[in-house]
Amino acid sequence: MSKEEILRTGTTTIGLKIKDAVILASDRRATMGNIIAHSDVQKVYPLADNLGMTIAGVVGDAQLMIRFIQSEVSIYSMKRGSPMSVKAAATLVGNVMRNGFYLGLIVGGHDSTGGHVFSVDAAGGHIEDNFVSIGSGSTFAMGSLEASYKLNMTKKEAIDVAITALNSSRKRDSASGDGMIISYIGPKGYEEIPQDQIRVRCEELGFKYPN
């Protein structure tokens, strides 16, 4: 299979540490070479009630990774009788990545020590940060995040920051676009923000939706 025939998420993914929670966000486009292959791709997944992960890279690798990590986190929780911490989940994902997955991932969530966001690279390195972006559009998103991110943002403020950063990337990166996925993970668990709410907020901010 040639490079052009491999289905990739392309993508812009974002992780934000906010007041006692995290925001995970992405666009929804998948590409195959210079072709837009799909316009409704899930790139933000729950790993458990308190954990989530964004994906960027080869779709087949991403789907396998999600299934495996969801299973391992569930087994861990059943054996220990408590949720896996965000750091432990990032370490687990990093260890699996060393087996040769063509991915860039963000692991985020909430545990007894608060909200945490980790970037995980293809070599298995995992680094905690207040905000991070991974994918082909991340350069454009990071410029926006550098300008608008602040510590201890509220949920509403953070959703606006994520929308603005995704809008910057989808306007300049051809592999990013076709809508947004935004999830909030706080003390009460994992919550995916409804599409109608994202659409309304984009319009209020002056952005077209989905593109």
Report which secondary-structure segment, H or E, holds 94.
Answer: helix 86-97
Beta bridge partners of 89: none
Distance CA 203, CA 139 (A): 24
Own/partner contacts of 202-210, CB < 8 Å, gap of 24 or more, are 202/163, 202/167, 205/160, 205/163, 205/164, 205/167, 207/163, 207/164, 207/167, 209/179, 209/180, 210/28, 210/177, 210/178, 210/179, 210/180
Report helix, strand or coil for 18: strand
Distance CA 185, CA 78 (A): 21
Give the strands of the sheet with 126-128, arranged side by side.
44-48, 51-57, 103-111, 114-120, 126-128
8 Å CB contact between 127 and 118: yes
Amino acid at 122: A
Residues noted as catalytic: 11
In 49-171, beta strands by DSSP E: 51-57, 103-111, 114-120, 126-128, 131-134
